[in-house]
């Protein structure tokens, strides 16, 4: 058994009694109460999911396995010659809760490399789709096409014990995660680079290989590593993570679950906001005819968008009440590598201009920028100007956290998810409006 899986098995065996005890001895202890506003309003804030992979504090932002983003960037083993950690090390952290050593990461790299080959029929599926399909539809279809590879389904059909479900689920998780960068790069090169596909380089790590297959030189390898790490997880209630968890709760396999999460991520209120930010900025640039807007002009563009009933993409959040630390990490990168980039100047001006306007507008509970406000500008700077593609990058990252969650869902035996719904009549009765 590979060392990572062995470590995971020990962690699972040690963790199980905690969940069993909570259920058995404290199962009826109240965690939360639910209001009508929450029932109608998208369950905002209802504490009704559990995960140990990450936790989102409204003021501090995300912690992966207890580590903040700066801590992860500092502590996780780095790729020689680069500044960013191995994505493989981050996968290790999310799965086991431990920061790996360089040696641990090298073992994981070796284990993962042998699993990277994408079946050729996946490329046939991508080629069979209409040329103008959105990259997210392509990405989701490619993942779904691989469902027949599921080790978990094979073992399930052979009749393995529920206690062992996590093991083939882990196999599916790793097999799928290590193939996603090649699928993503293939979609990009097929759609936007005259079909000139670049073969993977097996000697490279996951992030380095992605940059290589995209055909973009350094430091885009570090951009890829940073990007996949930052987008990997955001606790369990966001649309993509929740979708993945929900699908897997029916014991559907990893391929169904990850394909499904990609579909949820493709919404403009969620991951697609990163493409919307660039689309919005390009719209402003077109209207300005190449001239940089003054702050007053920028304020007018923001108000025009709000007054036409649209949201300002990249701002606001359902949980966060401060600037997203993922925004900050990417901003630090921009300040170091592209401080004079004109689009970065726009993004920075928006950081100044938008929050006071959203406060004055009086609707958004969080006026501060989220991860999506800052991510497109980096891609654009390194030549990935086809912003339709940006959410695919988010998806490669998000799959890592959701896959880790699903392995643990199976390890801890979480049941099928099935909340209860009520009718409007019933809510009116509860409210005392109607007998």
Residues that bind ligand MLT (CB under 6 A): 234, 238, 240, 317-319, 370-371
Q: How far apart are CA 382 and CA 393, in angstroms?
A: 14
Task: Name 144's Cβ contacts closer than 8 Å, sequence gap at least 6.
Answer: 255, 256, 259
Q: Is 409 annotated as catalytic?
A: no
Q: Closer to ligand NMX at the Cβ: 36 or 426? A: 36
Q: Closer to ligand NMX at the Cβ: 92 or 389? A: 389
Residue 386: which H helix or E strand, with range?
none
Question: Min. distance of Cβ 326 from ligand MLT in angstroms?
Answer: 8
| Active-site residue, from 172, 270, 324, 409 | 270
Q: How far apart are CA 350 and CA 234, in angstroms?
A: 24
- Residue 381 φ/ψ region, left for φ over 0, alpha for ψ in the -120 to 50 degree band, beta for the rest: alpha
Q: Which two tokens stand for residue 248?
A: 């897997």
Q: How far apart are CA 331 and CA 347, in angstroms?
A: 9
- Nearest residue to ligand MLT by CB is 238
Out of 34, 163, 269, 430, which residue is the one contacting ligand NMX (CB under 6 A)? 269
Q: Which two tokens stand for residue 141?
A: 């279809």
Which of ligand MLT, ligand NMX, none does 314 bind, CB closer than 5 to 8 A by kind? Answer: ligand NMX
Q: Is 270 annotated as catalytic?
A: yes
Query: According to CB under 6 A, which residues from 306 to 345 bind ligand NMX?
Result: 306, 311-318
Question: Min. distance of Cβ 274 from ligand NMX in angstroms?
Answer: 7
- Give the number of other Cβ atoms within 10 Å of residue 107's Cβ: 17
Q: Closer to ligand MLT at the Cβ: 145 or 241? A: 241
Which of ligand MLT, ligand NMX, none does 365 bind, CB closer than 5 to 8 A by kind? Answer: ligand NMX
Query: 3-class SS at 62?
Result: strand
DSSP 30: -
Greatest distance between any 2 Cα atoms in the chain: 71
| Active-site residue, from 372, 388, 409, 425 | 372
Question: Min. distance of Cβ 273 from ligand MLT in angstroms?
Answer: 9
Question: Min. distance of Cβ 412 from ligand NMX in angstroms?
Answer: 26
The reply on whether position 368 binds ligand NMX by CB under 6 A is: no
**Could you tell me which of 41, 68, 39, 40 has the C-alpha nearest to residue 54?**
68
Q: How far apart are CA 372 and CA 287, in angstroms?
A: 22
Query: According to CB under 6 A, which residues from 116 to 145 bind ligand NMX?
Result: none
CA angle 142, 263, 244 (to 5 degrees): 95
Residue 383: which H helix or E strand, with range?
none
Q: Is 304 annotated as catalytic?
A: no
Question: Min. distance of Cβ 200 from ligand NMX in angstroms?
Answer: 28
The reply on whether position 364 binds ligand NMX by CB under 6 A is: yes
The reply on whether position 90 binds ligand NMX by CB under 6 A is: no
The residues of the shown chain that bind ligand NMX, judged by CB under 6 A, are: 44, 269-271, 273, 306, 311-318, 363-366, 370-372
Catalytic site positions: 270, 317, 372
């Amino acid at each position: 058994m590979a060392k990572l899986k062995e470590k995971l098995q020990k962690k699972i065996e040690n963790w199980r009694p905690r969940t069993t005890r909570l259920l058995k001895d404290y199962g009826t202890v109240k965690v939360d109460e639910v209001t009508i506003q929450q029932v109608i309003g998208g369950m905002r804030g209802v504490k009704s999911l559990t995960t140990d992979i990450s936790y989102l504090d409204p003021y501090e932002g995300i912690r992966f396995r207890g580590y903040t983003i700066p801590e992860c960037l500092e502590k996780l083993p780095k790729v020689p010659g680069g500044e960013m950690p191995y994505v493989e090390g981050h996968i290790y952290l999310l799965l086991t809760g431990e920061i790996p050593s360089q040696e641990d990461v090298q073992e994981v790299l070796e284990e993962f490399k042998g699993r990277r080959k994408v079946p050729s029929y996946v490329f046939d599926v991508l080629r069979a789709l209409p040329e103008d399909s959105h990259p997210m539809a392509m990405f989701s279809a490619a993942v779904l096409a691989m469902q027949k590879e599921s080790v978990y389904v094979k073992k399930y059909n052979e009749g393995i014990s529920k206690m062992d479900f996590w093991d083939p689920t882990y196999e599916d998780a790793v097999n799928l995660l290590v193939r996603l960068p090649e699928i993503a790069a293939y979609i990009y090169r097929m759609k936007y680079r005259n079909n000139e596909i670049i073969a993977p380089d097996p000697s490279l790590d996951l992030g380095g290989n992605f940059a290589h297959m995209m055909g973009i030189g350094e430091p885009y390898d570090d951009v890829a590593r940073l990007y996949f790490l930052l987008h990997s997880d955001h606790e369990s209630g966001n649309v993509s993570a929740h979708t993945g968890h929900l699908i897997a709760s029916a014991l559907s396999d990893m391929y169904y679950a990850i394909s499904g999460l990609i579909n949820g991520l493709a919404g403009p209120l969620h991951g697609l906001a990163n493409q919307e930010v660039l689309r919005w900025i390009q719209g402003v640039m077109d209207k300005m005819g190449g001239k940089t807007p003054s702050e007053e002009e920028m304020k007018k563009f923001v108000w025009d968008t709000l007054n036409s009933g649209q949201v300002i993409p990249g701002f606001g959040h359902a949980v966060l009440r401060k600037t997203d630390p993922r925004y900050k990490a990417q901003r630090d990168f921009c300040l170091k590598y592209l401080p004079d980039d004109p689009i970065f100047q726009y993004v920075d001006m928006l950081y100044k201009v938008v929050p006071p306007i959203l406060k004055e507008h009086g609707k958004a509970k969080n006026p501060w920028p989220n991860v999506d406000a800052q991510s497109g500008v980096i891609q654009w700077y390194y030549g990935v100007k086809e912003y339709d593609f940006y959410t695919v990058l988010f998806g490669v990252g998000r799959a890592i956290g959701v896959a880790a969650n699903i392995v643990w869902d199976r390890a801890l035996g979480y049941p099928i998810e099935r909340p209860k719904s009520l009718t409007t009549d019933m809510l009116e009765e509860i409210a005392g409006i109607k007998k």
